Amino acid sequence: DTAVSQTPKYLVTQMGNDKSIKCEQNLGHDTMYWYKQDSKKFLKIMFSYNNKELIINETVPNRFSPKSPDKAHLNLHINSLELGDSAVYFCASSQGTGPFGYTFGSGTRLTVV
Amino acid sequence: QQQVKQSPQSLIVQKGGISIINCAYENTAFDYFPWYQQFPGKGPALLIAIRPDVSEKKEGRFTISFNKSAKQFSLHIMDSQPGDSATYFCAATEHKLSFGAGTTVTVRA
């Protein structure tokens, strides 16, 4: 199936731990994104990569570090997790940075306890 | 700061009724206005989209109306069905996708 897939779907961890979320797309898109959806369902962009190059880095704590080994993969590593990091994280991809629709993954629900 | 303002926060409609969701923006550089539908536990999925040189776009029961001078656009869901119950997000693009706050639509059978 052509899609954006992210793993894991659920992640429960303790404060202070380090965790990673992986994302892969097989749509042939050259731009990938990480979005955070908070408890009120608001979706906010965190990062964007175009052909492995970081092009958008919103005001996100340095504890969050994206990595794109190739244009089909975009991973998110989070250091020293805090309670406020609890949210659903969505990976997405698009064909270019212009006026195109984004395809989203099914999300990773991160709960920090 | 939210670049796209969306209302209402939630709405309830009877089966067969019309659901209307409104959005407004300020940034005239936005060049693409999509709507996304999200079901619980799923990611947002592109529903319908419009470019600013078009005033209306219809796909099945879903219609976008776009008013460039007023910087407003809206989604109309005709003949609403229980399966349409979801959260709907308007969005706008200028190099990145900025979302409205979402509208939870409940269609009562």
DSSP B46-81: EEEEE-TT-SEEEETTEEEEEETTTTEEEEEE-S--
Chain A CB contacts of B101 under 8 Å are: 40-42
d(CA A111, CA B20): 34
Chain B CB contacts of A99 under 8 Å are: 31-32, 51, 93
Mean pLDDT of B37-61: 96
Confidence band, pLDDT 50/70/90 cuts, at residue A2: low
Specify the pLDDT at position B95. 82
Residue pair A54/A46 in contact by the 8 Å Cβ criterion: no
Say yes or no to pLDDT of A53 above 70.
yes
Q: Which is nearest to A106 in space by CA: A20, A2, A8, A26?
A: A8
Chain A CB contacts of B38 under 8 Å are: 41
d(CA A32, CA A103): 9
B97–A90: do the CB atoms touch at under 8 Å? no
A48–B99: do the CB atoms touch at under 8 Å? no
B43–A101: do the CB atoms touch at under 8 Å? no
> The tokens 């749509």 sit on which residue?
A27
